[in-house]
Amino acid sequence: MHDILVIGTGAAGLAAARKALRDGLSVATLEAVFSGGLVTNINHLDGEVQGSGSDLAADMSAEIADLGAEAITGTALSVVRGGDAVEVQSDAGTHLARAVVVASGATLRRLGVPGEADYEGRGVSQCANCDGPFFTGQEVMVVGGGDAALQEALVLTGYAKRVHLVHRGASFRAKRHFTDQVVAHGQITIHWETRVEAVLGDEAVKAVRVRRAQGGEGVIPCAGFFAYVGLEPACAFVPDLVARDAGGRLLTNAGLRTAMAGVYAAGAVRSGYGGLLVQALAEGEAAAKSAAAELWS
Ligand SMILES: Cc1cc2nc3c(=O)[nH]c(=O)nc-3n(C[C@H](O)[C@H](O)[C@H](O)COP(=O)(O)OP(=O)(O)OC[C@H]3O[C@@H](n4cnc5c(N)ncnc54)[C@H](O)[C@@H]3O)c2cc1C
């Protein structure tokens, strides 16, 4: 049995594990895919933490390995409180810990329009840095009006000859400097008050059918389709008795403890998370600190 089991090794989970290890606790991490989570796809981080997301994830992963974390590869399936321990079932087995930090983050939401799932990997992507080079010299579409959509649209201008930015609203809700760059960018065409209806193609994406608030239906030719329309929290394995907000994110108290004793939450899976990497790192540390304080009390 470990003192702390951290579920998910995105930025929040890595920060939680590092803090707990530095405080002398025994720590295991349980990660379904690979260390780093969302940041691994971001080549140029914006905000207080700068540089490459994958470098940050690699450095933090190496640090927690050096500090003695046990890294388990597996997907958490359930969390149950039993006596003095928390029992986590995963597809790799059963894991016991005195406290658990849920840092399983979020996945990018899909639009759910016809054609989107059919053309996954054949023009439909959600990683501009990874898949941008496939669209060199072609036209692509980005959907959304927040930081992620604008940031990724700008990344895609490094490859595509034209980026169609489709937004259902009449103004962006992104940081000012992203908005200013996008509006002034010669390769970006903004389609305001426009909704995507279907992704069209044959072997691969060829166009997207849209509906404009001010002018009916249209078809925009493009070879790539990137939707950044929000995040879905990844916490289906946490029992329903642990309260959530309307968006399905885990509710915590000020010490980042959930409604289940010994279970904490940090980062994009948590209600109230601000959305920035620097906040994920701070929340991971805070959750580990609270868990440690409770273990020592
Ligand atoms: C396109 C985009 C660009 C961004 N750019 C910036 C930026 O420039 N600057 C900035 O500050 N922020 C940026 N952000 C926000 C920031 O990257 C994220 O908010 C932050 O990385 C979230 O970290 P996290 O650890 O909470 O979650 P995640 O990164 O989602 O990590 C969660 C981890 O948990 C794992 N996991 C999930 N479910 C399970 C399970 N059942 N069992 C085991 N493991 C599981 C996942 O595989 C993943 O590794 C960006 C976000 C996006 C989407």
Q: What is the 3-state secondary structure (H, E, C) of 6-66?
A: EECCEHHHHHHHHHHHHCCCCEEEEECCCCEHHHHHCCCECCCCCECHHHHHHHHHHHHHH
Look at residue 49 in the predicted model and tell me its pLDDT.
86
Q: Residue with structure tokens 């005195």? A: 98
Instruction: Work out whether strand 139-143 and strand 76-82 pair parallel, antiparallel, or are unpaired.
Output: unpaired
Look at residue 296 in the predicted model and tell me its pLDDT.
83
Look at residue 83 in the predicted model and tell me its pLDDT.
85
Look at residue 41 in the predicted model and tell me its pLDDT.
85
Answer whether 277 contacts ligand 1 (Cβ < 6 A).
Answer: yes
SS3 letters across 143-166: ECCCHHHHHHHHHHCCCCCEEEEE
Does 88 have pLDDT greater than 90?
Answer: yes
Between the CA of 70 and the centroid of ligand 1 the distance, in Å, is 21
Global pTM reads 0.93
Q: Average pLDDT of 170-188?
A: 96
| Segment 135-146, tens digit of pLDDT | 999 999 999 999
Burial of 214 per CB tally in 10 Å (0-12, 13-18, 19+) = exposed
Predicted confidence band at 214 (pLDDT cuts at 50, 70, 90)?
confident
C-alpha span between 170 and 157 (Å, rounded) = 22
Answer whether 37 contacts ligand 1 (Cβ < 6 A).
Answer: yes
Residues in CB range of 179: below 8 A, 6 or more apart:
150, 172
Between the CA of 257 and the centroid of ligand 1 the distance, in Å, is 20
Answer whether 79 contacts ligand 1 (Cβ < 6 A).
Answer: no
Mutate to test the pocket of ligand 1, among 45, 104, 250 (most ligand atoms within 8 A of CB): 104
Tell me the longest C-alpha to C-alpha distance in the chain: 64
Residue 50: closest CA among 34, 39, 66: 39
Does 67 have pLDDT greater than 90?
Answer: yes
Percent of the chain at pLDDT above 90?
92
Residue 242: closest CA among 229, 231, 257: 257
Residue 153: closest CA among 170, 145, 161, 165: 165
- Tell me, rounded to whole angstroms, the distance of Cα 181 from its chain centroid: 24
Look at residue 82 in the predicted model and tell me its pLDDT.
86
C-alpha span between 262 and 47 (Å, rounded) = 32
Number of H helices and E strands in the chain, helices first, is 6, 17
Do residues 84 and 265 touch, judged by C-beta distance below 8 A?
Answer: no
Residue nearest to atom 38 of ligand 1 (CA): 104
Between the CA of 297 and the centroid of ligand 1 the distance, in Å, is 32
Between the CA of 10 and the centroid of ligand 1 the distance, in Å, is 5
Look at residue 215 in the predicted model and tell me its pLDDT.
80
| The ligand 1 atom nearest the CA atom of 35 | 49
Do residues 3 and 24 touch, judged by C-beta distance below 8 A?
Answer: no
Q: Average pLDDT of 171-186?
A: 96
Does 86 have pLDDT greater than 90?
Answer: yes
Does 50 have pLDDT greater than 90?
Answer: no
Cα separations in angstroms, 273 against 89, 98, 265, 269: 26, 25, 10, 8
Predicted confidence band at 171 (pLDDT cuts at 50, 70, 90)?
very high
| Segment 254-294, tens digit of pLDDT | 999 999 999 999 999 999 999 999 999 999 999 999 999 98
Look at residue 235 in the predicted model and tell me its pLDDT.
97
| Segment 229-254, tens digit of pLDDT | 999 999 999 999 999 999 999 999 99
Q: Please, what is the average pLDDT of the chain?
A: 96
Answer whether 125 contacts ligand 1 (Cβ < 6 A).
Answer: no
Answer whether 42 contacts ligand 1 (Cβ < 6 A).
Answer: yes
Percent of the chain at pLDDT above 70?
100
Between the CA of 250 and the centroid of ligand 1 the distance, in Å, is 15
Look at residue 134 in the predicted model and tell me its pLDDT.
96
Mutate to test the pocket of ligand 1, among 35, 60, 277 (most ligand atoms within 8 A of CB): 277
